Amino acid sequence: MDIVIELAADYGLFLAKTATLVIAVLLVMGTLASSLSAARAEKKSSLRIERVNERLTQLADTLAGAMDSKAEAKARAKKRKAQAKKRAKAKQPADTSRLFVLDFDGDIRASAVEQLRESINGLVQVAGEHDEVLLRLESGGGLVHSYGLAASQLDRLRQAGIKLTVSVDRVAASGGYMMACVGDRIVAAPFAIIGSIGVVAQLPNFHRWLDERHIDVELHTAGDHKRTLTMFGQNNEADREKFRQELDDTHGLFKTFVAEHRPSLDIDAVATGEHWYGRQAIDRHLVDDIATGDDLMLAAARAERPVYAITHQSRTGLVSRMMGRASRLHARLIEERGMAKARIG
């Protein structure tokens, strides 16, 4: 009897292990399939264009309607109807300036550059010399080559003769400011974080840890500077010097780019890696005015300029979601650093 019970217990344990293994394999396969499917979907996005004027009008009417009397509400509705009829009859002047609104929420890889590229490809074909593009920018920076491409995309608008205004509500630091400086005009919220014109790079080195455990790492290169610093090999002073030189060269290119687009800047005074709040940045000519993106959109709508918001609808892949979280954490750390500085001061 004991033997039968033991065999049954062993068999049950075997079934449990087998089921666990099968479930684990299915989960891994499902995760991979989901990631591949999301990656394919990420490449496909649809352009969505909304005329913002009507939405702002409806918002004002809804708010007023909750407070107005019946007579006031009726008078307001009659006034709106008359204005709409007048606009319908009037011909739109050829020089009417339209405002196209783009959003760029940057992560470390500047993943949103693909959507930005598509929007600009369309705008350079339809926008005229009287039109304006408003970029609502949010970025704490990231990879140099990725943000260099994003800034180059914005430069296409200027080359096409289309006015570009950049608004910063929270942060445009490092690569984010590289993008912002391309604008003909930069506006920032009073406490938006601006600047951080610098380059930073860091990596751990596990050579001593591996050496203590008698683990050898072989690295073979062709070319004196194919590899500078490494995570697993032994670094020497020549490697470090070359790495620092590359950082200095990148910083020099960054400074030159900003100086070309913002000639009023004292570039040596602001290219120290420091960041400033919006009101401080205006004194250093890093920004031109204190305002938010909402202020600009509302002002354009009140002036009866057509305001169009251009957005992209797409599924975000697993990697992009992870990089987006990392970028938001990076931006949050920059903000917290500024807050800590304010508390200490």
pLDDT tens digits for range 271-323:
999 999 999 999 999 999 999 999 999 999 999 999 999 998 765 555 566 66
CA angle 56, 57, 60 (to 5 degrees): 85
Domain count, the chain: 1
Name the residue type at position 285: H
342 pLDDT tier (thresholds 50, 70, 90): very low
What is the model's pLDDT at position 65? 73
**Helix/strand/coil percent split, the chain, to 5:** 55, 15, 30
* 160, pLDDT greater than 80: yes
Range with lowest mean pLDDT among 7-16, 97-106, 157-166, 263-272: 7-16
What is the model's pLDDT at position 329? 67
Residue 38: how many other CB atoms lie within 10 Å: 16
Q: Residue 167 contacts by C-beta under 8 Å, 6 or more apart in sequence?
A: 134, 135, 136, 137, 186, 187, 188, 291, 292, 293, 296
SS3 (DSSP) at 222:
coil
Containing structural domain, residue 59: 2-344
The closest alpha carbon to 182, from 285, 262, 105, 102, belongs to: 262
Confidence (pTM) = 0.76
CATH number at residue 110: 3.90.226.10
- According to DSSP, the residues that pair with 103 across neighbouring strands are 136
* 42, pLDDT greater than 50: no
The closest alpha carbon to 107, from 339, 315, 335, 329, belongs to: 329
Would you call 186 exposed, middle or buried from its count of C-beta atoms within 10 A (0-12, 13-18, 19+)? buried
Q: Compute the distance between CA of residue 43 and CA of residue 45 in angstroms, rounded to an integer.
A: 6
Catalytic residues: 174, 226
Range with lowest mean pLDDT among 19-23, 302-306, 339-343: 339-343
Name the residue type at position 13: L
Instruction: Cite the DSSP H helix spans in 68-112.
Output: 70-89
